[in-house]
Structure 1
């Protein structure tokens, strides 16, 4: 690849599928990036409309995430666009089921939870076409969101990265942008291991307290449909003020391109750990690297959920999943940052090299691939 941020090349996407079903207001885009290592696992995003280019970038991230974690899967994404003229939650189940039915014969795509979807959504899909992971416990799932699979992995990526930053997790000040399931579990694991979460942002605003926030209280507020700024403690700021907060570790856990060339200079952290896919714009990522701020790439740091989902397919239990997440993410974070320290390379470049090796080897066995495994 000539540009590590360009998701359209000889490796994919393999297929781009547009799905329409006017009777239920279904408009969806499914992107299967690469299946050289096995069927693609892709998150179902039920959010504001994203472009096909955005989807290709997210699907490629899933391909790299799977390959880096030694999983027998490729990557993809499914984007369920808003129903025209309907409330966001109107007939959601009908639209999800219609999408699953439309992909009943597409055996190279497996649905997984993502923004706006969870265990119940995956249960609907399983009922329609049998290909979903991240299922409720009653259907053989491991309850990945409840055990905090992604957050567990992010904690371990952070702990390894801190060795390259020159400070420890104990009393480190953390800001988390996004407080959904991933943000909540990441905060919980970090606080349990000595960190102090001083700032949290969601769509309603940013809450800041220099001595630390009460994570349990904020989780309870979110469970009732509230915003972190509904808390009785802390300073209330605008949603985009999280980037300005003084901290040691900054964790983007919601949305793409939340750090761009326009706001990267405002970031005060020494370490950025990507909890959300594509949360750093390419130019911003390069800028932070040049400023000496370590960035652990998304598909290295946040692979816990995917690792758990892939293992769920094969009947693994909670203990096996958490152990595998810890081992794989610590190993990969170490490899990437060791390469950065030795060669001065961009963390994402080192991470892409790591992930592409098994993909290239698998594709080299295909007829007319033009690729060499050497």
Structure 2
């Protein structure tokens, strides 16, 4: 065997409106600058949907596919042993993010509880058997769909038959694809880390999920045409859903984007330059702090259920999430229309104002 050293990070950006809240990601490119940026985005996201959290983010610069399950567990537990004093239900509550899942959250819960006693509210995104919430796994993808559907209604765009392109077919992208397909949209292209598949008349999402599980890639899907992962970003479509990494839309490809709506399922997928280009071209952007806020909203529900020891039916979770998200969407849409500004600017204006008011009231 050999010894490898990984660097872990946890950044707490704000706790003025409640415990810091944010995911933990495992990716080779994870560094302090990335985690800082994502932690600040969580502050604005929780403020925008008006749930009682601040912002945080964490991660380890590791490719989890290179580790065995045992090694991944040791890495996770070692990370928590070093930061557990920074965490807690009323201090900082982690959640899943890129390449982490309910199993990783279980190790976090167990390691934290070994130091502090049984504390299910110390982390969200857990399995239902250990205090997780029904509806949590699908929440971010469902939220992307709910927000996009609301914007399409405002733009008088019919959802049945709409052409949707999804870059990223992990948890968020795959659930978003399912919800769009169930509503009658045509998923014409899907990309993952290995490449992409295109089908002009639409892809069978369930069959594509099965294909991805059995082969480890969307490429080679029967009836589809293989293409590069980045190529899907410039396909002619109604809705483009970047659900993978940061900064995939930039000044070089933004002029070529042919979608009417960009629904940012990923965190920070659009650079500042690309944002300006897309806005100037009249493309409607659902900003990440609004579009992908379903996950943190249901994380809040899970945290509340853990503290109260009262558990909700899935239908109640989904209806409360939709109510919370649509209220936030309406506030952003109304401000954008009234002030004649892009939705991203409206979203940040609302979020920053809420955090600033909390700081003034607390005297910080």
- Superposition TM-score, scaled by structure 2 size: 0.90
- Give the corresponding residue for 1:119: 102
Aligned length: 344
CA deviations over 1:138-185 (Å, ceiling 9, x no partner): 101125454x11111111101111134331111110000000011111
CA distance in 1, matches of 2:50, 2:14: 15
- Give the superposed CA RMSD: 1.9
CA distance in 2, matches of 1:74, 1:224: 39
CA contact (8 A) 1:153 1:301 kept: yes
- Give the corresponding residue for 2:205: 215
Whether 1:139 and 2:126 are equivalent positions in the alignment is: no
CA distance in 1, matches of 2:28, 2:212: 20
CA contact (8 A) 1:174 1:247 kept: yes
CA contact (8 A) 2:26 2:100 kept: yes
Unaligned runs of 5+ in 1: 1-21, 370-374
More relative contact order, 1 or 2 (CA 8 Å, 6+ apart): 2
CA contact (8 A) 2:106 2:127 kept: yes
- Give the corresponding residue for 1:337: 333
CA distance in 2, matches of 1:271, 1:120: 34
Residue among 33, 37, 53 paired with 1:57:
37
- Give the corresponding residue for 2:86: 106
CA distance in 2, matches of 1:314, 1:342: 35
Residue among 41, 54, 58 paired with 1:74:
54
CA contact (8 A) 1:37 1:72 kept: yes
Superposition map of 1:238-277 within 5 A: 238-277=228-267
CA distance in 2, matches of 1:313, 1:225: 36
Higher helix share: 2
CA deviations over 1:225-262 (Å, ceiling 9, x no partner): 52111311111111111112110100000110110111
CA distance in 2, matches of 1:233, 1:335: 42
Residue among 2, 6, 15 paired with 1:35:
15
Superposition map of 1:129-278 within 5 A: 129-130=112-113, 131-144=122-135, 146=137, 148-224=138-214, 226-278=216-268
CA distance in 2, matches of 1:347, 1:231: 36
Unaligned runs of 5+ in 2: 114-121, 306-310
CA distance in 2, matches of 1:23, 1:71: 42
CA distance in 2, matches of 1:162, 1:243: 19
The list of structure 1 runs, each at least 4 consecutive aligned residues, that deviate by more than 3 angstroms after superposition, is: 143-146
CA contact (8 A) 2:31 2:61 kept: no
SS at match of 2:85: coil
- Superposition TM-score, scaled by structure 1 size: 0.88
Whether 1:346 and 2:342 are equivalent positions in the alignment is: yes
CA contact (8 A) 2:135 2:317 kept: no
Superposition map of 1:273-312 within 5 A: 273-312=263-302
Superposition map of 1:5-44 within 5 A: 25-44=5-24
C-alpha displacement of 1:296:
0.6
